[in-house]
Amino acid sequence: MRVRALWLRAACLGRAGSGSGSVWFWFRCGFSSSALLPARKKVSEYSAVDSEHYSALVRNVVSSRTSAQTPETIEEEDGWLFGTVVKSRPSQEPRTLKNPCSLIDSSRVLHSEHEETEMTRIKLQRNTEQPSVPSVTRILQNTMSPSQLFYLERWKRRKIAELGEEGFREYSQNLFRQGKLFHAAIESFLTQKSSPKEEAETPDEVSGYLESIGHVLEDVTGVRAIESAVEHQTLRYLGIVDCVAMYKGSLCVIDWKTSERPKPSLHNTYDNPLQVAAYIGALNSDDNYNYQVENGLIVVAYKDGSPAHSHYMSEKQVLQYWEKWQFRLEEYMEKVIQHKTARTD
């Protein structure tokens, strides 16, 4: 191989001295001869590694199909790389009521829920000689969660930005007036249903709401109470129930609501189930009523006349919300005590 390369070089030198094509020939000869020279052997980057030192590791990796690591070694390695693992705190123990109260007062002698009774309408009367008894509405408003307060405040700000301060006040007053007219129209319909009279005129403001609940009213019979005050004798709170009547064969406390947005599920009604449960508990404790109620119904009506959403609350659901209501009541009472203590200090 070396002899042939030398011969080619000599031949090139001989041609280099003759004629004008010597340069081109020299280039071709130089290129061809360099191609025949042996290429340099590449040096591997791993050639300097002490293979004997790592032979045990290589054998372990190659011969084993499963990882040599264990959960303990992985945790130890993570601790070395990222620090000690902070484990989650243990879940808190479920809360318990300090003074739980039963939803049903079994000590009272009562009429059957299917027995006909006269309709009750008890006006709310405040006793000036005794400390003020809080209402269900006040208790719920003063024990809202931070998230509830956030969304309520955000809604209020958006309405003020849209309508202005004066416009928002007028909007709130209109909602209150519509609510009163709506309840009055329902009362008129239900009382006429039990005692047929000439149908009264319905204000245009609430005609859509009445159309919305039309299919629900068809299943409401045996009205026991309308816009009637109830007070819990033991837990000391009060409220006014919209209606107590039979709905599809079950005696219910019925709460009529209006909404600008659809509320297709019970969850969408926020604290309304707590309100209904609170009314049921108060009614069952109140001596002015000679029957017990175990079920509830929330009816959400819409101004455009679209079918209302009716949310029936079974006895099991009422009991669940009754417990939640008692927690809210205890929270309110604790806040009242703290406020009184702060004032005396």
Catalytic residue among 42, 123, 219, 255: 255
Mark whether 257 is an active-site residue. yes
Mark whether 286 is an active-site residue. no
Tell me which long-range contacts 188-196 makes (C-beta under 8 A, separation of at least 24).
189/217, 190/217, 190/220, 190/223, 190/226, 190/243, 190/245, 191/119, 191/223, 191/226, 193/217, 193/223, 194/119, 194/223
Catalytic residue among 42, 123, 180, 257: 257
Mark whether 287 is an active-site residue. no
Catalytic residue among 42, 193, 197, 242: 242
| Residues catalogued as catalytic | 242, 255, 257
